[in-house]
Amino acid sequence: MVDHAVAVIGLGSMGMGAARSCIRAGLETYGVDINRDALGVLKDAGAAGVSENCGDFAERLDSVVLLVINAHQCRTILFDMGLADRLRPGTAVMVSATMAADDISDIGARLGNRRLIVLDAPVSGGAAKADAGDMTVMAAGSDDAFSSLAPVLEAVAGKVYRVGSRLGMGAMVKIIHQLLAGVHIAVGAEAMAMAARAGIPLEVMYEVVTNAAGNSWMFENRMKHVVDGDYAPKSMVDIFVKDLGLVTDAAQSLKFPLYLGSTAYQMFTAASNSGHGQEDDSAVIKIFDGIDLPGNR
């Protein structure tokens, strides 16, 4: 076993994969979530401990990985619930939730005041890459942060991009990435909806695109859900309402025009407003009326 104790907080599709990857890499791995089923799964996978409250083993840890949804959840866990005050000085905190650059800067300053080491480290790759220890990490922080978290980064990531030393730079790279991801899903849904309106079998359209120049990773991954009529959430519509909202806010702060991103944001917001917010983000296709989708027949 590697002499490094890490707690992964947030055992959703990405967090569970990251925690399993840490276990396979020989790290002393703890898991934290309010979902008791997820805790049981990780315990069976070989976790050193699981809990609904990280305070149960905070003093044993060398590092913490926050794989929750947003900045509010990070602040709640770290400060309102008191985790930051329970960690030993010098513990490294890897903040991997998607958030605004100002949020991670604020969180980092508050953790720094407690003599904790912070890495601004959003991740991408989806559940499959998380489970394979092959995520992409876009990280910013000090040399000490990268050094302290090296065992964790080696366990969970296929690629680690060091984008700078200033906290917030990693967050901004992730926000710009989410602009692309959201637009790709939205335009993929629009293309498949147009195919449905034209009477083209969606499985045929999907095969053509995934073997031609118009393909993207997001089209190939998400539009397969449409073809299968399966909207069980891997990443929800409401996640992209949040993320594209962050994109919009960042663009406004930069006085930067956002032509396609603004449209994609409205499409996901419309899908959420129509009751699809908790479905897979591919359910943005359901905003198009008068089309026959698999699963609706």
Catalytic residues: 174
Residue 172 DSSP SS3: helix
Q: What tokens were used for 234?
A: 């891997």
Q: What span, in angstroms and rounded, lies between the C-alpha atoms of 29 and 41? A: 13
Whether the CA torsion 56, 91, 7, 235 is positive or negative: it is positive
Query: Which residues make Cβ contacts (< 8 Å) with residue 105, sequence separation at least 6?
Result: 167, 168
Closest C-alpha to 156, from 140, 174, 134: 134
Please provide the distance, in angstroms rounded to a whole number, between the alpha carbons at the two ends of the chain: 52
Closest C-alpha to 119, from 131, 107, 129: 107
- CB neighbours of residue 218 within 10 Å: 20
Q: Which amino acid makes up residue 213? A: A
- CB neighbours of residue 201 within 10 Å: 12
Tokens 């603004």 identify what position? Answer: 262
Closest C-alpha to 55, from 75, 36, 37, 32: 32
Residue 243 DSSP SS3: helix
Residue 164 DSSP SS3: strand
Closest C-alpha to 55, from 22, 82, 16, 15: 82
Residues present in the chain in total: 297
Residue 102 DSSP SS3: helix
